[in-house]
Amino acid sequence: MSLSVQGQAVSRGIAIGRAVLVASNRLDVAHYFIEAGQVDTEVDRLRRARSAVVEEIGKVQQSLQELGPKDAHHELAALLDVHLMLMEDTQLQAGVKYWISERLYNAEWALTAQLETISRQFDEMEDPYLRERKADLEQVVERLLRHMRADANPAPMHAPSNRRGEPLVLVAHDLSPADMLQFKQSVFTGFVTDVGGKTSHTAIVARSMDIPAVVGARTASQLIEEDDWVIIDGDAGVVIVDPSPIVLAEYGFKQRQGEVERERLSRIKNTPAVTLDGERVELLANIEQPQDSTPALSVGAVGVGLFRTEFLFMGREGRLPDEEEQFTAYLAAVEGMHGLPVTIRTVDVGADKPLDRSAREDHLNPALGLRAIRWSLSEPSMFQAQLRAALRAAAFGRVNLLIPMVAHVGEIRQVLAHLARARQQLDERAVAYGPVRLGAMIEVPAAALCVPAFLKYFDFLSIGTNDLIQYTLAVDRVDESVAHLYDPLHPAVLKLVASVIAECRALGKSVSVCGEMAGDVAMTRLLLGLGLRSFSMHPSQILAVKQQILRADTRKLRAWAQAVVASEEPGTMMGD
Ligand code: PEP
Ligand code: MG
């Protein structure tokens, strides 16, 4: 039966494909695709784990018999019998083999995918005894996974491939930004998650993949089943499950229209971003990995305005990248941009970008906690290693250093002291380094209200609207239950953005916007009218924003932009 779910539109376009579910149960396993030649190896891993579990249960049964007959033991023995029966269950075995051989899932993923499928059947059972057997099944799967983890030779990670040649869409309850990055090189044509807001980091990485995506779709991962046909409408934020042929045809048409539009946009790739009245605008790229410099250059970005270096630090189980590893990454970005500037933002972990999955719930209020520069200052040796790596990369090209989430002048002084120390350490080691321009992110209202003081220390500012909105409106950017309150057009947000731009211009310092607002075509005219001449966004958004710029006349936008900022309901004036 066809049904639709509403969520948040985060990445435009239409995707139509078969659902691949990333297990939403509590078993946290790696999800990756294997190559066709590795199917037997993965099935063997599973077989070995199965034999080990059967043996393990057999031993427990044996020791129970030796203890003699006692009531409690009867119950335990019966439970173990159930577990053994489940191990023999043909639906479990056949299902897991299907996911491995037909979908090329790694064994752990296949096992949890089949667990999910069978669990749903258990949930629908009327008989409470049978329904409770779901817990047994989970325990059996957990036992198998434990043995598989101990198995030394899992198949190596591979970029996903799809044997049947059908498009695939990814469906998950939640995905961490690090998981998302893992899927970045994949064949998925779209994705949907139950949780998340428009500017959650998972959504941001999805946008960088340039595939249609919907987040905050609440129950999508429960309603959608493996292999279901799904339409993801990334423009409207709608997910349609099991569409009728008419709906399918309609969306197929929309999808082709989108492709034609993209093709048309690609023609302005080499056109300079200059408004009708001759104002030159800088269009920069936001990147997560050094190799993102390739798509950035391919759409004509004139530099990197934000390199989110924290993606080098995430999901590494405590083993953080050292100076050499970071230097290699920064150098690759600098060389990849062929002489254009690269803005390296110092690590911004915390909040919805935990270092590791397990660290997610360590803090009550992570967005207000030890995040970004606060974390860096609390880890001086790590911070200095990062500064040294960036300074060294600056010997090979133009590098800007950007500090996230600064709120106190005291923090700025500490950053400067660390920077001086990092230079001194490189001098002592006689290692070459280059000059850097130093900038601050304006993403906390406190910083937005102290621009003149900040500009005594910084060469440039970059407005991080994603966090500035979150902190101004006290709305968690990740929480879909308050997503309706996350309003980039709130008068308070616009007043802060407008005043930061105006103060920088008055003091002759450069300012850009690097939050998602910069890549939103609905905001381009307003930001131009407020005097912004530098925008940083994901490469996939650059051409659409450029098109807006080419059609704009800033002389006509100035008074209107001021009126929008002064309005009680700026949203009502945006179409003017
Ligand atoms: C922002 O807050 O707007 C920003 C660009 O930083 P991030 O999204 O990485 O927090
Ligand atoms: Mg931020």
Helix (H) or strand (E) holding 261: helix 245-265
Give the residue, out of 284, 309, 348, with the most ligand 1 atoms within 8 A of its beta carbon, to mutate for a pocket test: 348
* Ligand 1-lining residues (CB < 6 angstroms): 204, 306, 308, 348, 443, 464-467, 514-515
Q: Which is nearest to 527 in space by CA: 463, 444, 472?
A: 463
- pLDDT of the residue at 116: 82
Residues within 5 A (CB) of ion ligand 2? 443, 464, 467
What residue owns the CA closest to ligand 1's atom 1? 464
pLDDT tens-place values along the chain, 576 residues long: 788 999 999 888 999 999 988 765 456 677 788 888 999 999 999 899 888 888 887 877 776 676 665 555 566 677 777 777 877 877 788 889 999 998 888 898 888 888 888 888 877 777 776 666 777 787 788 888 878 876 644 444 444 445 567 888 989 888 777 667 767 667 788 999 998 888 887 788 788 888 899 999 988 988 998 889 999 999 999 999 999 999 999 999 999 999 999 899 999 999 999 999 999 999 999 999 999 999 999 999 999 999 999 999 987 767 899 999 999 999 999 999 999 999 999 999 887 777 765 454 566 788 999 999 999 999 999 999 999 999 999 999 999 999 999 999 999 999 999 999 999 999 999 999 999 999 999 999 999 999 999 999 999 999 999 999 999 999 999 888 999 999 999 999 999 999 999 999 999 999 999 999 999 999 999 999 999 999 999 999 999 999 999 999 999 999 999 999 999 999 898 976
Output the CA torsion sign for 35, 41, 45, 47.
positive
Beta bridge partners of 463: 442, 513
Q: Which is nearest to 522 in space by CA: 567, 487, 495?
A: 487
Angle at 48 between CA 43 and CA 50, to 5 degrees: 95
Give the residue, out of 405, 441, 537, with the most ligand 1 atoms within 8 A of its beta carbon, to mutate for a pocket test: 441
Ligand 2 centroid to Cα of residue 376, in Å, is 15
- pLDDT of the residue at 156: 41
Assign 565 to helix, strand or coil. Answer: helix
Give the residue, out of 181, 199, 462, with the most ligand 1 atoms within 8 A of its beta carbon, to mutate for a pocket test: 199
- The CA dihedral of 15, 31, 481, 14, to the nearest 10 degrees, is 0
Q: Which ligand is nearest to the CA of 208?
A: 1
Catalytic residue among 83, 504, 514, 538: 514
CA 321, CA 329: separation in Å to the nearest integer?
A: 10
Ligand 1 centroid to Cα of residue 470, in Å, is 10
Q: Which is nearest to 9 in space by CA: 203, 265, 188?
A: 203
Atom number in ligand 1 closest to CA 463 = 3
CA 389, CA 323: separation in Å to the nearest integer?
A: 5
What are the b/e assignments for 369-402, b being 16+ CB within 10 Å? ebbbbbbbeeeeebbbbbbbbbbbbbebbbbbbb
Ligand 2 centroid to Cα of residue 516, in Å, is 10
Atom number in ligand 1 closest to CA 467 = 2
Angle at 249 between CA 246 and CA 251, to 5 degrees: 110
Q: Which is nearest to 479 in space by CA: 221, 198, 220?
A: 198
Q: Find where tokens 């606060």 sit.
A: 374
CA 228, CA 213: separation in Å to the nearest integer?
A: 17
274 secondary structure, DSSP code: B
- pLDDT of the residue at 23: 60
Q: Which burial class, exposed, middle or buried, applies to 474 when counting CB atoms under 10 A from its CB (0-12, 13-18, 19+)?
A: exposed
- pLDDT of the residue at 115: 85
Assign 111 to helix, strand or coil. Answer: helix
Which residue type occupies 111?
A: L
CA 326, CA 313: separation in Å to the nearest integer?
A: 9
Ligand 2 centroid to Cα of residue 405, in Å, is 7
Catalytic residue among 201, 418, 504, 538: 201
The reply to whether 201 belongs to the active site is yes
Q: Which ligand is nearest to the CA of 464?
A: 1
What residue owns the CA closest to ligand 1's atom 9? 308
Contact in structure between 538 and 262 (CB atoms under 8 Å):
no
Which domains does the chain show, CATH number per domain? 3-26+157-264 (3.50.30.10), 36-150 (1.10.274.10), 275-570 (3.20.20.60)
Using alpha carbons only, how large is the chain's radius of gyration in Å? 26
- pLDDT of the residue at 54: 86
Contact in structure between 276 and 553 (CB atoms under 8 Å):
yes
Alpha helices in 68-209 (DSSP H): 71-88, 90-103, 107-123, 128-150, 177-182, 201-209
Ligand 1 centroid to Cα of residue 551, in Å, is 28
Ordered strands of the 168-172 beta sheet? 3-6, 238-241, 229-233, 14-22, 168-172, 188-193, 213-215, 8-11
Angle at 524 between CA 522 and CA 530, to 5 degrees: 125
Q: Which ligand is nearest to the CA of 515?
A: 1
Which residue type occupies 140?
A: V
Ligand 2 centroid to Cα of residue 531, in Å, is 22
